[in-house]
Amino acid sequence: MFLSVFEMFKVGIGPSSSHTMGPMVAAARFLEALRASPFHFHGLRASLHGSLAFTGVGHATDRATILGLAGFLPDSYDHDKAEAALAAIRETRMIEVPGLGALAFDPARDLVFDYGPALPGHANGMILRGLDAQGDVILQETYYSIGGGFVLTEAELQAGEAGKAKVAVPYPFETAAQMLEMAARSGLSVAQMKRANELVVRPAAELDRGLARIWEVMNACIDRGMQAEGILPGGLKVRRRARGIHQALIAERGLNLTPPHTINDWMSLYAMAVNEENAAGGQVVTAPTNGAAGVVPAVIRYWLDHVPGASAAKVGDFLLTAAAIGGLCKHNASISGAECGCQAEVGSAAAMAAAGLCAVMGGTPMQVENAAEIALEHHLGMTCDPVKGLVQVPCIERNGLGAIKAVSAASLALRGDGVHLVSLDACIETMRQTGHDMHEKYKETSLGGLAVNVPNC
């Protein structure tokens, strides 16, 4: 199992990796299929199913799908150009598709929210269709957005691991137990093994530039979030709080009366700044998803700004370690809230952050695994119940608490020798089972939990 660090950490846009980035990526893939087809197309049609339908409006899934069909991609997204394209599409009921010309598309008619049963492969399903001059379907593909911006066609989902191209890496661990065994045998850290695997597919200079870019975008997102103010879009009238919290914390610096637990406010601040940016549709990094994008950068920023001896030179090791743990969560359970609830998003993010922090603070591979397990264990059973389908309540604060749990988990692990009762593998398998048993209304459909007990206006 090889999952690159740049698959776990992807530069994109908010508010959701599965509901915004995924559909945009799926639409871009469909354009490739259209271009490769011998048919001549005159129109497009799309239908959203399962969680993509139920919470699609709040997650801007409709907007992302339309923009994807117009050639936009998450990592190169330009807000002003996107707004102009959407306005033109609504006015002309045509999409200017790169390489295909103008194709008929009326957003009110040709983008359907199907509130019936979900498609069989995954809770996040969508069907894209290419039409001829008579409006008949001549090319159709089903896509599943499986979390974290990952997208599979129906055939790819059915093929599973057997359909994936194999990458021969020196440390092909698929479980935490294998990871620890390989670390013990090689004498390498988790980050060193992950780096060795990455170097099979890209040179060292490219890897280091990519890691630096990931942290640069994460850090810039924190800074933007701490400066912005106003009301977040979507109708809940949620006010941005990061700027006010930051100003208050700065004003309290140096006061002898400041209680020690104020450090928790700094962690929450950094995470909330990211997720307020995400909720506003800004540029974020999946970590491993948009809904959980604040946890990892918040813990890195906490470490750099508040922990003596921290060094920016080790951020790459933090990210590599975190990516290794995130890969185990995705491979053996899920990172999708629509599949396993928020335990799969913020829970996985906290495990990643705890492992990364433990590693850069000198933890052994056993302590790193212990840190990840502690963080994930204490998110088990967490539901995904966004009010009005928006990644705002409870998501923004939840990232702050996820960061605090991650730091606490790393600290506990560093106080021990790595020996513990519940393994990370057992914890990940428990998350998978819990997600399977969790009622659908608690898995990003906004049909249960806070979503039905909090007024939507």
Q: Provide the Cα torsion 4, 13, 149, 204; round to 10°.
A: -10
* Better-predicted residue by pLDDT, 174 or 255: 174
Q: State pLDDT tens for residues 77-133.
A: 998 999 999 999 999 999 999 899 999 999 999 999 999 999 999 999 999 999 999
List of residues 6+ apart from 312 with CB closer than 8 A: 304
Task: Give the span between the Cα atoms of 179 and 278, in whole angstroms.
Answer: 33
Whether the predicted pLDDT of 164 surpasses 80: no
List of residues 6+ apart from 220 with CB closer than 8 A: 283
Whether the predicted pLDDT of 1 surpasses 90: no
Q: What is the three-class DSSP state of 286?
A: coil
Length of the chain: 457
Q: Which position has the token pair 């990526």?
A: 25
Q: Which position has the token pair 């059915």?
A: 158
Q: What is the three-class DSSP state of 125?
A: strand
Whether the predicted pLDDT of 371 surpasses 70: yes
Classify the phi-psi angles of 162: left when phi > 0, otherwise alpha if psi is within -120 to 50, otherwise beta. alpha
Question: How many CB atoms sit inside 10 A of residue 409's CB?
Answer: 26
Look at residue 88 in the predicted model and tell me its pLDDT.
97
Whether the predicted pLDDT of 357 surpasses 90: yes
**Overall average pLDDT of the 272-276 stretch:** 98
- pLDDT mean across residues, the chain: 96
As given in the structure block, the two tokens for residue 59 are 């997650």
Classify the phi-psi angles of 446: left when phi > 0, otherwise alpha if psi is within -120 to 50, otherwise beta. left
Task: Give the span between the Cα atoms of 105 and 63, in whole angstroms.
Answer: 13
Alpha-carbon radius of gyration of the chain = 22
pLDDT band for position 162 (cuts 50, 70, 90): low
Q: State pLDDT tens for residues 389-429.
A: 999 999 999 999 999 999 999 999 999 999 999 999 999 99
- Report residue 112: phi and psi, to 5°: -110, 130
Between helix 424-437 and helix 315-332 the angle, nearest 10°, is: 50
Whether 107 contacts 124, CB under 8 Å: no
pTM of the predicted structure, to 2 decimals: 0.94
Q: For residue 382, how many C-alpha atoms fall within 13 Å in the half-sphere facing its CB?
A: 25
Look at residue 273 in the predicted model and tell me its pLDDT.
98
DSSP 443: B
| DSSP per-residue string spanning 415-445 | HS-S--SS-HHHHHHHHHHHHHHS-GGGBSS
Whether the predicted pLDDT of 163 surpasses 70: no
Whether 334 contacts 147, CB under 8 Å: yes
Residue % of the chain over a pLDDT of 90: 95
Look at residue 165 in the predicted model and tell me its pLDDT.
72
pLDDT band for position 361 (cuts 50, 70, 90): very high
pLDDT band for position 272 (cuts 50, 70, 90): very high
Distance (Å) of CA 363 to CA 196, 298, 372, 421 = 19, 19, 12, 18
Q: State pLDDT tens for residues 45-68.
A: 999 999 999 999 999 999 999 999
